[in-house]
């Protein structure tokens, strides 16, 4: 069972989240840094018998919600569950990625191609 720990929780492990952010910074195409990401997004650490990764939602320049994240290796099942939990909080949410592994996880989490040429996926109708 995956547990999401919000950035405002006293159990949030900022140090580990930052460490893995730096490891994955290039894959995230980050320009602003960890502190800006934490400040400007809905941010969770994902746990299941230890730290799995971090997942976040931010508002893009186009005003739409976007899902992003990073994780330790070989925790694919937990990553998909976290994608489902967080994306289900929104009626419409997008993800933009150039990474095949991320696309596969997002699709297993309910996303579909919105614009394949621009590497943009979408999940609609999730919120209940």
User: Measured between alpha carbons, how far is 113 from 127 in angstroms, rounded to an integer?
Assistant: 19
Residue pLDDT, tens place only, 1-36: 999 999 999 999 999 999 999 999 998 988 899 999
**Token reading at 72:** 């330790």
Residue 33 to residue 38: CA distance in whole angstroms: 9
The residue count of the chain comes to 128
Residue pLDDT, tens place only, 47-69 = 999 999 999 999 999 999 999 99
pLDDT digits (tens, 9 = 90+) for 84-119: 999 999 999 999 999 999 999 999 999 999 999 999
pTM score of the predicted model: 0.94
Per cent of the chain over pLDDT 70 is 98
Backbone angles phi, psi at 81, to 5 degrees: -65, -40
Contact 46, 52 (CB under 8 A): yes
């Amino acid at each position: 069972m995956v547990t999401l720990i919000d950035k405002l929780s006293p159990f949030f492990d900022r140090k580990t989240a930052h460490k893995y952010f730096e490891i994955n910074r290039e894959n995230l195409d980050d320009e602003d840094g960890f502190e800006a990401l934490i400040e400007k997004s809905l941010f969770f650490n994902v746990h299941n018998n230890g730290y799995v990764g971090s997942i976040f939602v931010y508002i893009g320049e186009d005003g739409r919600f976007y899902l992003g994240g990073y994780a330790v290796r070989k925790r694919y099942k937990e990553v998909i569950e976290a994608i489902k939990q967080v994306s289900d909080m929104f009626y419409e949410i997008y993800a933009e990625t150039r990474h095949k592994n991320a696309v596969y996880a997002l699709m297993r989490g309910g996303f579909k191609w919105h614009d394949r040429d621009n590497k943009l996926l979408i999940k609609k109708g999730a919120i209940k």
